[in-house]
Amino acid sequence: MLVVEDEEVLAAAVARGLRREGMAVDISHDGADALGKLDVNRYDVVVLDRDLPGVHGDQVCRALASQATPTRILMLTASGTVDDRVDGLTLGADDYLGKPFAFSELVARLRALARRSRDALPPVLERHDLRLDPARREATRGGHFLRLTRKEFGVLEALMAADGAVVSAEDLLERVWDEHADPFTNTVRVTIMNLRRKLGRPPLIETVVGVGYRL
């Protein structure tokens, strides 16, 4: 989840509560920062306060809705009038909750949205004799099953989704690991190595020196 809320105390409280519910939560305190994070990370759901200083919540919403993304939006608003609800939904929000709200209701709605987001996401990726189904979490090569760990699966998914384009190690860190990953770590190289080993021959992952990796 990404929680976008300028009131820092509220944001922290919500994040803590959601983490207790088992969710992975990032926080933004303004619209510009939110757009940056949305650009860089993939979220299942964004909890978006409508009244943001600087870049307004509506703008964030529009920006997100305009691009074809599987990310769902839950709008938070101070005034729970019907007009707001209509506005929010026409702007591209997927759900809407007026402040003050019951925390349990927020959780329930986020769960529902996250499930929708997962359902909507998964086309089966196929390249060469590789087949990867994110929904079923299955990867095969030449019909033969591959037992991949989470990181390996994530890296392979990112490479396949890039469709032959080069993906930098930094991109992989942000997509497969999380936003606070140590930029000087060696773990991507090690994961790539293990992945290559499990994929077998002929080799499919090419190193582009100084830039990144591609299928």
Partner DNA sequence: CGTAGGCCTTACGCAGGCGTTACGCCGGCC
Partner DNA sequence: GGCCGGCGTAACGCCTGCGTAAGGCCTACG
**Which one of a copy of itself, DNA, none interacts with residue 40, CB within 5 to 8 A by kind?**
a copy of itself
Q: Is 137 a residue that touches a copy of itself (CB under 8 A)?
A: yes
Q: Which two tokens stand for residue 104?
A: 């349990």
Q: Which residue stretches of 68-123 are H helix?
A: 82-91, 103-120
The four Cα atoms 84, 97, 114, 104 give a dihedral, to 10 degrees, of -170
Q: Which two tokens stand for residue 7?
A: 């009131």
Q: Which two tokens stand for residue 150?
A: 């989470």
Kindly tell me which of 65 and 181 has the beta carbon lying closer to DNA.
Answer: 181
User: Alpha carbon of 126 to those of 40, 107, 180: distances in Å?
Assistant: 24, 35, 31
Q: Which of 70, 177, 198, 214 forms a contact with DNA (CB under 7 A)? A: 177
Q: Is 182 a residue that touches DNA (CB under 7 A)?
A: yes
Chain contacts with a copy of itself (rule: CB under 8 A): 21-22, 36-37, 39-41, 95, 105, 108-109, 111-112, 135-138, 149-150, 164-166, 170, 174, 179, 183-184, 208-212, 214
Chain contacts with DNA (rule: CB under 7 A): 16, 20, 147, 149-152, 169, 177, 182, 185-187, 189-193, 196, 207, 209-212
